[in-house]
Amino acid sequence: MTYKTLLCHAQPNADYAEHLRCAANLSDELEAMVIGLGAAAIPPFAVSAGGSYAGLDGEWLALMSDQIRLNLEGSRKVFEEAIGARAREWRTQWLEPTPALAQAARGADLIIVRHGGPGHPNTYSDVDVGQLVVSAGRPVLMCPPGRDYLGKGPILVAWKDSRESRRAIADALPLMQRSGDVLIVEASPDADISPAAARVEDVAEALARHGVRARSEVLEQSGRASQAIMTRAGQLGAELIVAGGYGHTRLGEWAFGGVTRNLLEQERYFVLFSH
């Protein structure tokens, strides 16, 4: 297995292009094509019996539409500058970026996104990484701020004996095969860690059969599992963290488990999520 099609959302600000350059570097190594997607939507400011935009002045709506067209053209230029002469394809969609990416993921192997930064993303112009993870059906690689190259350094796999972790292991295989050190860890609060040790060793042995240099370790969890995982990632000098993305709907919005939430918020590591 390898990644042959990479998918990225592009914005008109060149300062937000680190993940595009990361995709370009990976495309060189993997001989993969990069699909760039420009997506944005007009928020429904006015709602009345006459329709969503009945209360919105027609001229103002036209100005907003023109601005989105300009933004999409700017996004295309940023994408093409980052990807250069590599195999690429550009698409646009008048839709919120998160569902637009999830739809486009049907033709991709890996989605590469930038860290959303602090605060809640603008639904109409920004990607909600957490929502994308649980809706796309494809692995999502999140790039930390200021980082545009995913090296071949150590990888930490945050293991939990679940469907999501099994999916993450399979989805991250091309990245783990290029690393010289993959550490499978499970945070265990139990006094008897032998069951956890057996689980992570099982995973390491399976990965070794795919040519991955993997080893296993159980983390003693005295507090939050996320804290134990992040501490170990720092000690390892991890380049990338691989994890299942755990979430469920609550009152119409996605709520995430503690480890997933903290990995989405941290800005130090590349993280590959699968759901």
The DSSP annotation for 131-172 comes to HHHHHHSS-EEEEPTT-----S--EEEE--SSHHHHHHHHHT
As given in the structure block, the two tokens for residue 145 are: 């701020």
Determine the pLDDT at residue 121. 84
3-state secondary structure string, 192-218?
Answer: CCHHHHHHHHHHHHHHHCCCCCEEEEE
pLDDT of res. 179: 96
pLDDT tens digits, the chain, 275 residues: what are they?
799 999 999 999 999 999 999 999 999 999 999 999 999 988 776 444 455 555 556 777 888 889 999 999 999 999 999 999 999 999 999 999 999 999 999 999 999 999 977 777 888 889 999 999 999 999 999 999 999 999 999 999 999 999 999 999 999 999 999 999 999 999 998 889 999 999 999 999 999 999 999 999 999 887 789 999 999 999 999 999 999 987 765 545 555 678 889 999 999 999 999 99
Write down the pLDDT at residue 126: 92
Distances (CA, A) of 1 to 95, 106, 174, 242: 31, 17, 7, 17
Token pair of 81 as six digits: 């500058």
Q: Cα dist. 233→77, 113, 239, 250, 260 in Å?
A: 36, 21, 9, 31, 15
* SS3 category, 220: strand
- In angstroms, rounded to a whole number, what is the distance separating the alpha carbons of residues 273 and 168? 6
191, 196, 263, 24 alpha-carbon torsion, rounded to 10°: 160
Q: Which domains, ranges and CATH numbers included, belong to the chain? A: 5-143 (3.40.50.620), 155-274 (3.40.50.620)
Q: 65-98: buried (b, 16+ CB within 10 Å) or exposed (e) per residue? A: eeebeebbebbbebbeebbeebebebebbebbbb
Question: Considering Cα of 170, then 98, then 158, then 215, what sign does the dihedral take?
Answer: positive
pLDDT of 110 reads 98
Beta bridge partners of 92: 38
- Axis-axis angle for helices 18-30, 58-83 (nearest 10): 40
pLDDT at site 44: 73
Asked if residues 31 and 84 have their Cβ atoms less than 8 Å apart, the reply is: no
Quick check: helix, strand or coil at residue 47?
Answer: coil
